[in-house]
């Protein structure tokens, strides 16, 4: 701190301020700041989504008092961005020749990148700090903020050249400083010399005289520090200084890998992206991957250090700290690029076609590497500052051969440390002793993973695995009405559940609306709860489970502003469903959407107000969940609770859509479990989703694994790849159907959770899209997955139906002219209603459905309480069975098809043909 203070005071007390601006480094820093401010201002005025702008965005306030998230970007993030951009230039470019413009360009680019990541981390920490408590620890907030800082830094990677070019030009065109100016600029013999900053002669600054050897002039501060000043000795010190920094960073990298860096890559919020060989300083990469990744990081770090400061042992404390940080940032970027190349070369899923998944892995890998580099660099800079007073002794000690020999076992120990202390990851569900069958719908829970590389699966209390396949039911959702005379939904009746069961489905995902549950703050609508109860009772009577889904789209129907004046490629928000009006806080932001309904400033503000529990609105939704959970505490027909449909990204993702979304989930789970206990019931499954970006892109920064201690978790993304995902509008396929399900499985594994696609579907011509539905179904079978197709019925007044549409829906459609129902189209109905095992003892080995039949194999454990098979087969013709290790196999005619039953034990197979 004394050295930094001396540096600042020298600048402030300079007798000739104009001479300070004649310094090439000062001019470069000033140019960088000016251009950076212009870029920030332009993006704030232009960006209609707020995703690209570092501060604000068109339609979003630059500064407001609604919460830390509204003022932190301007009052915390922007100052950090500007300071972290200017300071390295002032410290590192002061002794460079003016012909080093390219050096200044590259350093400025790297500095802007690192500064952007630091500013993002600082903003995220300030935003999350008020929310630290029982559902979010300070350590989790700190780790997440720095781990994801690289994602915002990606835009600074693109902005960097725009800032670096003017900085380099200003540096190159600076006039040669006068003798007086040079003495002042280099701190003369006063505060700078006290700080250990070496003066440079006027001759050395001259553009025609300065070369690499000129930088080795006499250095009083070096002599005072006890460092040798003669030729050969100085070269040894140069090598020792850089080597010392690399050794220190090696120690830091291994310690970080053993502590919070263990899940920086695999097992973290984007761990699903790193599927192939991983070269990174993490135990998750294995021995070879860890050693190679560490070597790559340290190699780039050392080379960057050499390029930035040839004599780190002779530099000032602030310069050394900045050099270490910047070199680590560049090394992290290099590691990210290496990871992107490795991921791009990894083979695609064996059952999938070509796609552009490399786009996702490049973004995720580079961002992860940047975040890692900035974080380790910051810690390394602090460590360098702490060790500064011992620099002479450390450099001298590095030349003793005995110490170098002793370092060999130390290196081996440090390399082994992360691998020895690596944890197995987030634990999955615990085994539960099976109980005898009850004769009705059995209570569901999770069965632990059966082995390495497998997931927990949904099962029942008798020990059988259960595959939940069905449809989404939206008929209790409170949609915005474009025309009050045209209903957005059809009435929900018992006939719906009878028809759903007759198609072979055994689950519905029943959408509920918070706006109807709690239309006035603190008052829960018992009448609406009664409608939900009636739906659950009807479903149960027809052998259908219910997942209760707190549904929302674009926050709520109160956001509709069809008359909003929008421009610049944006359109007025149309209003959807979800939150009540009293819980909708937008602070006067624009109701104009860009590309997608969730990218409107008003939607982002409403969601961030929710994530930060502004005015206690999140607390109210948590109370609403407790109200629902207590009502169904003892109901086995309720499979579980889907905590929030397609959560919005908020105004500051991924802090809002990752960290704070996880905080809400834990709060809701805690309230649900307390309500179940109060109702003398049992714990139901908890279904949780990534943000809406996963639905649109097939990837996202998810809530951090370990966001809750609850183990009855089901990861329930919406894999809309090759359907309505955003990439389809640009003629791309980022992820195929098969890739999306594979990636989703890896994401679920990080949470120790089961996987259940809560929404999926196609909405075009069934004769064309039916082939994709069939592909999705085949991929489900190979992975033993269930899921819920969107949607069962859809009213002609739904926001999803155009005002001039002749029909509405995609499965049980309706004629919007006559109101007559339309039978499910064969292109969708045939693959959706294919044969599958609803419940069976043991764990699935193989499953394939074709031509109205199936081939199915599983292995049953000896301790299962039920050996009963329950297989659905569609159609009128009686199926022909061929079984192995199945006794009492039989077929029973049921509405819409056949039920195959039997008692299976050990390893068994069932083949059904027509």
Q: Using one digit for the tens of pLDDT, what is the confidence trace for 463-521?
A: 999 999 999 999 999 999 999 999 999 999 999 999 999 999 999 999 999 999 999 99
pLDDT, tens digit, 9 for 90 and up, residues 634-653 = 999 999 999 999 999 999 99
Check whether residue 473 and residue 371 sit in a common domain: no
- State the DSSP code for 542: T
907 beta partners: 859
User: What pLDDT sits at residue 19?
Assistant: 59
Question: Contact at 8 Å (CB) between 741 and 719?
Answer: yes
Which tops the pLDDT comparison, 396 or 84?
84
The CA distances from residue 890 to 848, 869, 881, 887, 910, in Å, are 20, 10, 8, 9, 12
User: What pLDDT sits at residue 239?
Assistant: 53
Domain that residue 729 falls in:
467-551+606-833
For residue 594, give the 3-state DSSP assignment: strand
Check whether residue 248 and residue 387 sit in a common domain: yes
The residues, ordered by sequence, that sit 6+ positions from 211 with a Cβ below 8 Å of its Cβ are 97
Check whether residue 407 and residue 326 sit in a common domain: yes
Q: Which of 427, 472, 541 is nearest to 757 (CA)?
A: 472
Rounded-to-integer distance, Cα 508 and Cα 543, Å? 11
In a domain, 285, yes or no: yes
Check whether residue 683 and residue 789 sit in a common domain: yes
pTM of the predicted model as reported, rounded to 2 decimal places:
0.92
pLDDT, tens digit, 9 for 90 and up, residues 720-754 = 999 999 999 999 999 999 999 999 999 999 999 99
Q: Which helix (H) or strand (E) holds 837?
A: strand 836-841
The enclosing domain of 726 has a CATH number of: 3.20.20.80
Q: Domain tally for the chain? A: 2
Check whether residue 408 and residue 478 sit in a common domain: no
Rounded-to-integer distance, Cα 309 and Cα 185, Å? 19
Which tops the pLDDT comparison, 549 or 417?
549
In a domain, 108, yes or no: no
Q: Exposed e or buried b for every residue in 105-123, given b needs 16+ CB within 10 A? A: bbbbbbbbbbbbbbbbbbb
Question: Contact at 8 Å (CB) between 897 and 873?
Answer: yes
Q: Which of 164, 160, 192 is nearest to 95 (CA)?
A: 192
User: What pLDDT sits at residue 350?
Assistant: 87
In a domain, 186, yes or no: no
Q: Retrieve residue 645's tokens.
A: 């449909």
User: What pLDDT sits at residue 96?
Assistant: 73
Rounded-to-integer distance, Cα 894 and Cα 914, Å? 16
In a domain, 418, yes or no: yes
Give the pLDDT band (50/70/90) at residue 174: confident
pLDDT, tens digit, 9 for 90 and up, residues 293-306 = 999 999 999 999 99
Question: Contact at 8 Å (CB) between 77 and 122?
Answer: yes
Check whether residue 613 and residue 492 sit in a common domain: yes
Give the pLDDT band (50/70/90) at residue 70: confident
Check whether residue 395 and residue 507 sit in a common domain: no
Strand stretches in 676-748, DSSP E: 685-688, 713-715
pLDDT, tens digit, 9 for 90 and up, residues 204-237 = 333 333 333 333 333 444 444 444 444 444 444 4
Check whether residue 734 and residue 643 sit in a common domain: yes
Q: Does residue 200 surpass a pLDDT of 50?
A: no
Choosing from 364, 396, 423, the residue where a domain stops is: 423
In a domain, 823, yes or no: yes
Choosing from 833, 864, 893, the residue where a domain stops is: 833
Check whether residue 278 and residue 410 sit in a common domain: yes
Give the pLDDT band (50/70/90) at residue 824: very high
In a domain, 846, yes or no: no
Check whether residue 393 and residue 472 sit in a common domain: no
Choosing from 799, 833, 867, the residue where a domain stops is: 833
Which tops the pLDDT comparison, 95 or 475?
475
In a domain, 757, yes or no: yes
Q: Retrieve residue 231's tokens.
A: 């030729």
Q: Which of 670, 679, 651, 758 is nearest to 708 (CA)?
A: 670
Mean pLDDT score of the chain: 88
In a domain, 569, yes or no: no
Check whether residue 408 and residue 529 sit in a common domain: no
The CA distances from residue 206 to 12, 176, 179, in Å, are 25, 6, 10
Rounded-to-integer distance, Cα 534 and Cα 598, Å? 32
Check whether residue 714 and residue 810 sit in a common domain: yes
Rounded-to-integer distance, Cα 882 and Cα 889, Å? 9
């Amino acid at each position: 701190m004394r050295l930094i203070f001396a540096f600042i005071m020298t600048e402030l007390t300079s007798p000739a301020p104009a001479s300070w601006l004649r310094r090439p480094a000062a001019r470069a820093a000033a140019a960088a700041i000016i251009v950076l401010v212009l870029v920030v201002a332009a993006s704030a005025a232009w960006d209609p989504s707020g995703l690209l702008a570092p501060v604000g965005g068109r339609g979003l306030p630059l500064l407001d008092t609604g919460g830390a998230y509204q003022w932190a970007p301007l009052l915390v993030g922007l100052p950090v961005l500007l300071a972290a951009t200017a300071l390295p230039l002032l410290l590192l470019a002061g002794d460079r020749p003016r012909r080093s413009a390219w050096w200044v360009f590259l350093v400025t680019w790297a500095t802007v990148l690192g500064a952007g990541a630091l500013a993002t981390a600082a903003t995220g920490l300030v935003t999350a700090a008020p929310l630290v408590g029982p559902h979010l620890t300070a350590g989790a907030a700190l780790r997440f903020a720095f781990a994801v800082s690289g994602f915002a830094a990606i835009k600074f990677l693109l902005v960097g050249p725009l800032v670096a070019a003017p900085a380099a030009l200003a540096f190159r065109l600076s006039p040669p400083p006068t003798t007086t100016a040079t003495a002042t600029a280099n701190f003369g013999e006063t505060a700078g010399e006290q700080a250990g900053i070496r003066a440079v002669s006027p001759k050395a600054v001259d553009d025609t005289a300065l070369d690499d050897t000129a930088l080795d002039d006499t250095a009083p501060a070096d002599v005072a520090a006890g460092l040798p000043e003669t030729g050969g000795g100085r070269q040894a010190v140069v090598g020792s200084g850089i080597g010392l920094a690399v050794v220190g960073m090696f120690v830091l990298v291994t310690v970080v890998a053993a502590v919070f860096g263990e899940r920086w890559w695999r097992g973290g919020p984007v761990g699903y992206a790193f599927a192939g060989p991983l070269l990174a300083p993490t135990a998750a990469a294995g021995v070879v991957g860890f050693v190679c990744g560490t070597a790559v990081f340290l190699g780039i770090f050392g080379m960057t250090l050499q390029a930035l400061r040839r004599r780190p042992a002779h530099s000032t404390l602030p310069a050394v700290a900045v050099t270490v940080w910047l070199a680590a940032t560049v090394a992290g970027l290099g590691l990210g690029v290496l990871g992107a190349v490795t991921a791009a070369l990894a083979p695609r899923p064996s059952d999938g076609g070509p796609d552009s998944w490399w786009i996702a892995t490049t973004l995720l890998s580079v961002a992860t590497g940047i975040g890692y580099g900035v974080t380790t660099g910051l810690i390394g800079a602090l460590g360098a500052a702490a060790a500064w007073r011992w620099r002479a002794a450390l450099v001298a000690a590095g030349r003793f051969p005995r110490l170098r020999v002793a370092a060999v076992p130390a290196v081996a120990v440090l390399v082994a440390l992360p691998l020895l202390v690596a944890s197995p990851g987030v634990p999955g569900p615990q085994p539960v002793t099976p109980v005898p069958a009850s004769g009705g719908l059995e209570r569901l829970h999770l069965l632990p993973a059966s082995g390495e590389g497998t997931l927990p699966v949904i099962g029942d209390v008798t020990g059988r695995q259960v595959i939940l396949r069905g449809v989404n039911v939206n008929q209790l959702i409170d949609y915005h009405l474009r025309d009050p005379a045209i209903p957005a939904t059809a009435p929900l009746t018992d006939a719906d559940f009878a028809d759903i069961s007759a198609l072979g489905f055994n689950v519905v995902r029943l959408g509920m609306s918070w706006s109807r549950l709690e239309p006035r703050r603190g008052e829960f609508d018992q009448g609406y709860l009664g409608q939900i109860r009636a739906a659950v009772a009807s479903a149960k009577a027809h052998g259908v489970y219910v997942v209760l889904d707190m549904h929302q789209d674009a926050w709520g129907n109160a956001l509709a502003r069809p008359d909003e004046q929008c421009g610049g490629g944006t359109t007025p928000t149309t209003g959807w469903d979800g939150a009540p009006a009293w819980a909708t806080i937008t602070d006067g932001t624009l109701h104009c959407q860009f590309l997608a309904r969730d990218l409107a400033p008003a939607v982002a503000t409403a969601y961030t107000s929710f994530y930060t529990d502004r005015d206690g609105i999140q607390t109210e939704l948590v109370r609403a969940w407790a109200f629902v959970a207590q009502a169904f505490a003892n109901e086995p027909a309720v499979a579980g609770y889907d905590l929030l449909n397609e959560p919005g990204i908020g105004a500051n993702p991924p802090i809002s859509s990752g960290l704070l979304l996880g905080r809400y989930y834990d709060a809701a789970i805690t309230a649900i479990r307390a309500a179940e206990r109060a109702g003398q019931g049992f714990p139901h499954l908890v279904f949780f989703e990534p943000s809406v970006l996963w639905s649109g892109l097939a990837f996202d920064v998810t809530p951090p694994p370990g966001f809750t201690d609850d183990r009855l978790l089901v990861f329930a993304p919406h894999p809309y790849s090759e359907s309505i995902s955003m990439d389809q509008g640009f003629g791309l396929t980022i992820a195929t159907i098969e890739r999306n399900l594979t990636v989703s499985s890896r994401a679920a594994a990080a949470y120790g959770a089961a996987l259940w696609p809560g929404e999926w579907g196609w909405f075009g011509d069934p004769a064309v899209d039916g082939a994709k539905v069939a592909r999705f179904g085949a991929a489900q079978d190979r992975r033993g997955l269930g899921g819920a197709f969107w949607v069962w019925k859809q009213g002609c007044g739904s926001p999803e139906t155009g005002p001039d549409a002749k029909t509405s829906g995609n499965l049980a459609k309706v004629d919007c002219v006559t109101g007559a129902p339309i039978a499910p189209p064969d292109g969708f109905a045939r693959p959706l209603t294919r044969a599958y095992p609803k419940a069976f003892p043991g764990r699935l080995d193989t499953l394939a459905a074709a031509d109205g039949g199936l081939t199915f194999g599983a292995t049953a454990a000896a301790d299962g309480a039920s050996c009963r098979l329950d297989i659905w087969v569609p159609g009128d013709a009686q199926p022909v069975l061929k079984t192995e290790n199945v006794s009492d196999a039989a077929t029973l005619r049921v509405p819409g098809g056949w039920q195959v039953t039997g008692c299976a034990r050990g390893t068994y197979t069932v083949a059904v043909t027509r």
